[in-house]
């Protein structure tokens, strides 16, 4: 099935062309022209979102759940066309996009179930104490309320699950917030067809048209205008540290600052303890190579760093990782820009003093092949440049002389999305001294596994201290992510007739 995009924005139910266009840069197949987002588009979408809030924010949970399920249905109805345009735009294999589509519809349905249960409202009650001395206490109720229109910026590497109808949009809709998506310039056609699905669900469920708008990019000013628009009350963002930080700073500098929930980058270190390394270093090396190269390394949870204890077992691990990585075929990267950034990141690591080449490879411009380097903890501590994420299949083995050095390295880490321990029973004593450090650094701490593959569930935390995210109290994956778009309101001494129906 071939999908031919028309290239328009969807603003409050209308498909809107622009004065200027930009051309997409697909991995293969024809480019298409898309309307460049304008400040007038942002203003119109924001005003429509605010108007829609007065209906949508007060719709019943059952109606919002039906809307979420209808979006999932409409996405499934367009499944083949979504895969077709998505593979062309991103170069991701069809099977990967089909899996991601299932994750996207699964997220929408999970949120429908989640709000139906109502626990997320965190309803609390203090009974009146009229006879309390010296002062009586009034009756008080508390519950979570939606915050208003939310702006969403998706990432290039998950064109479905972290984009137009991805986790941020699903969580905001579930909370009762209208959404304006700033389309990602790496997959504008995929964004358009998903917007069509949401548009169809809005009509099916009789929701207000302003509940959703998609404004294509093509000009960074449109993103800046969106986060600084006075009617926008929060921003969900998944992407680079540089882009996230720029938009975060704009949110903080507004006359009314608003929360910016940015999920940014991470090097996701793994600490391989002595006994585990001796028992199964070869298996860990092969598992690491598979995790590192998955999706051409274009995952925010890509485990870029392996910290090992020096010795023969670590040497054998290095050889196994080198062998496993050198068997990896080149993979197409998501955009020309990401491919260029990967090459420059690789050169930065290779040029750092005290870094040894273990595996170097070559490939075409928009492709990626793995690289493997080795250094010492001391050198890591001396070179901040080694701590920065390289978005692609590049691994760095950091050799520690002792568990003390491993702890020093752990202490030096910036905020991470994940940290991993590989351990056996005999490693428990060392692990007990590392875990308290790692849990201060990361949103998710794993044992004996690999961090790629983020479960969408009640317990998931996909976030972490800066720069993994801009808001360490939040997650962008899992049901807890709804919290970002809610705020508690206390109703004191309020007549029952005025209390929200959910109380």
Which residues are at the interface with ligand NAP (CB under 6 A)?
153, 155-157, 162, 182, 184-185, 217, 220, 223-224, 238-240, 243, 246-247, 263-265, 300, 389, 391, 417, 462, 476
Percentages of the chain per state (helix, strand, coil), in multiples of 5:
45, 20, 35
CB of 429 to ligand NAP, least distance (A): 33
**Bridge-partner residues for 269, per DSSP?**
none
- Which of 443, 391, 392 shows the shortest CA–CA distance to 413? 443
Q: Which is nearer to ligand NAP, 241 or 423 (CB)?
A: 241
Q: How far is the CB of 257 from ligand NAP (least distance, A)?
A: 17
Spatial strand order of the sheet with 234-238 comes to: 14-16, 9-11, 212-215, 179-182, 150-153, 234-238, 260-263
Rounded to an integer, what distance in angstroms lies between the CA atom of residue 41 and that of residue 45? 6
* φ and ψ of 359, to 5 deg: -145, 120
Between 273 and 300, name the residue whose CB sits nearer to ligand NAP.
300
| Other beta carbons less than 10 A from residue 60's beta carbon | 11
Query: Residue 181 has what DSSP assignment?
Result: E
Q: Is 177 a catalytic residue?
A: no
Complex with ligand NAP: residue 59 or 468, whichever CB lies closer: 468
State the nearest-atom distance from the C-beta of 259 to ligand NAP, in Å: 16
Q: Which is nearer to ligand NAP, 116 or 221 (CB)?
A: 221
Residues 6 or more apart in contact with residue 434 via CB below 8 angstroms = 271, 403, 406, 407, 410, 421
The residue at minimum Cβ distance from ligand NAP is 243
Distance (Å, whole) CA 450 – CA 287:
8
Least Å distance, CB 15 to ligand NAP, is 20
**CB 162, CB 238: distance < 8 Å:** yes
SS3 26: coil
3-state SS class at 409: helix
- Strands 14-16, 9-11: pairing kind: antiparallel
Q: Are β-strands 234-238 and 260-263 bridged in parallel, bridged antiparallel, or unpaired?
A: parallel
Task: Pick the catalytic residue from 263, 389, 405, 419.
Answer: 263
Q: How far is the CB of 452 from ligand NAP (least distance, A)?
A: 11
- Residue 238 CB, nearest approach to ligand NAP (Å): 5
Q: How far is the CB of 34 from ligand NAP (least distance, A)?
A: 11
Q: Please report how close the Cβ of residue 462 comes to ligand NAP at its closest, in angstroms.
A: 6
Q: Which of these is catalytic: 192, 300, 389, 405?
A: 300
Of the candidates 48, 41, 43, 38, the one whose C-alpha atom is nearest the C-alpha of residue 229 is 43
Neighbours of 33 (CB within 10 A): 16
Of residues 176 and 415, the one with the C-beta less far from ligand NAP: 415
Closer residue to ligand NAP (CB): 264 or 277: 264
Strand, coil or helix: 261? strand
The alpha carbon dihedral of 463, 465, 467, 471 has a sign of positive
Residue 419 appears among annotated catalytic residues: no
| Closer residue to ligand NAP (CB): 53 or 391 | 391
Complete edge-to-edge strand list for the sheet that includes strand 305-309: 356-359, 371-376, 394-400, 305-309, 270-272, 416-422, 442-447
Are 81 and 193 spatial neighbours (Cβ–Cβ below 8 Å)? yes
Contact criterion met (CB below 8 Å) for 212 and 53? no
Three-class SS of residue 490? strand
Q: Interior CA angle at 471 toward 469 and 474, to 5°?
A: 95
We find the least distance from the C-beta atom of residue 469 to ligand NAP, in angstroms, to be 7
- Is 238 or 332 the residue whose CB approaches ligand NAP more closely? 238
Q: Would you name the residues annotated as active-site residues? A: 263, 300
């Amino acid at each position: 099935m071939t999908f031919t995009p028309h290239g328009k924005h969807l603003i409050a139910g209308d498909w809107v062309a622009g004065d200027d266009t930009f051309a997409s840069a697909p991995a293969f197949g024809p480019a298409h022209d898309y309307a460049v987002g304008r400040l007038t588009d942002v203003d119109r979408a924001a005003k429509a979102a605010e108007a829609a809030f007065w209906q949508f924010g007060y719709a019943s949970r059952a109606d919002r759940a039906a809307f979420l399920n209808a979006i999932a249905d409409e996405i499934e109805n367009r499944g083949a066309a979504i895969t077709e345009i998505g593979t062309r735009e991103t170069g991701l294999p069809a099977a990967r996009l089909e899996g991601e589509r299932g994750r996207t519809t699964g997220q929408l349905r999970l949120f429908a179930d989640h709000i139906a249960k109502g626990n997320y409202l965190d309803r609390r009650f203090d009974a009146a104490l009229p006879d309390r001395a010296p002062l009586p206490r009034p009756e008080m109720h508390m519950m979570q309320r939606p915050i208003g229109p939310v702006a969403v910026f998706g990432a290039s590497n998950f064109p479905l699950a972290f984009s137009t109808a991805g986790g941020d949009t699903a969580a905001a809709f579930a909370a009762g917030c209208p959404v304006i998506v700033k389309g990602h310039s790496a997959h504008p056609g995929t964004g358009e067809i998903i917007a069509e699905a949401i548009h169809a669900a809005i009509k099916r469920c009789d929701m207000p048209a302003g509940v959703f708008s998609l404004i294509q990019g093509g000009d960074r000013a449109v993103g800046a205008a969106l986060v600084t628009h006075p009617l926008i009350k929060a921003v969900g963002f998944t992407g680079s540290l540089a882009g996230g930080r720029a938009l975060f700073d704009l949110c903080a500098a507004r006359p009314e600052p608003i929360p910016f929930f940015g999920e940014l980058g991470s090097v996701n270190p793994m600490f391989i303890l002595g006994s585990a390394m001796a028992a199964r270093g070869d298996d860990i090396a092969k598992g690491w190579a598979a995790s590192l190269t998955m999706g051409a390394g274009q995952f925010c949870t890509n485990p870029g760093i392996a910290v090992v204890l020096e010795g023969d077992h670590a040497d054998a691990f290095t050889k196994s990782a080198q062998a496993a990585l050198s068997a990896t075929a080149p993979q197409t990267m998501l955009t020309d820009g990401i491919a260029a950034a990967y090459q420059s990141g690789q050169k930065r690591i290779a040029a750092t003093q005290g870094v040894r080449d273990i595996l170097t490879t070559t490939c075409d411009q928009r492709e990626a092949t793995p690289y493997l380097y080795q250094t010492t903890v001391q050198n890591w501590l001396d070179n901040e440049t080694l701590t920065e994420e390289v978005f692609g299949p590049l691994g760095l083995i950091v050799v520690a002389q002792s568990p003390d050095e491993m702890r020093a390295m752990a202490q030096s880490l910036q905020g991470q999305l994940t940290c991993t321990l590989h351990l056996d029973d005999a490693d428990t004593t060392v692990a007990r001294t590392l875990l308290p450090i790692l849990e201060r650094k990361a949103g998710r701490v794993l044992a004996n596994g690999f961090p790629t593959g983020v479960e969408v569930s009640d317990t998931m935390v996909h976030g972490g201290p800066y720069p993994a995210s801009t808001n360490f109290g939040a997650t962008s994956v899992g049901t807890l992510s709804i919290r970002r778009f809610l705020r508690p309101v206390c109703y004191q001494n309020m007549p029952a007739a005025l209390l929200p129906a959910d109380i």
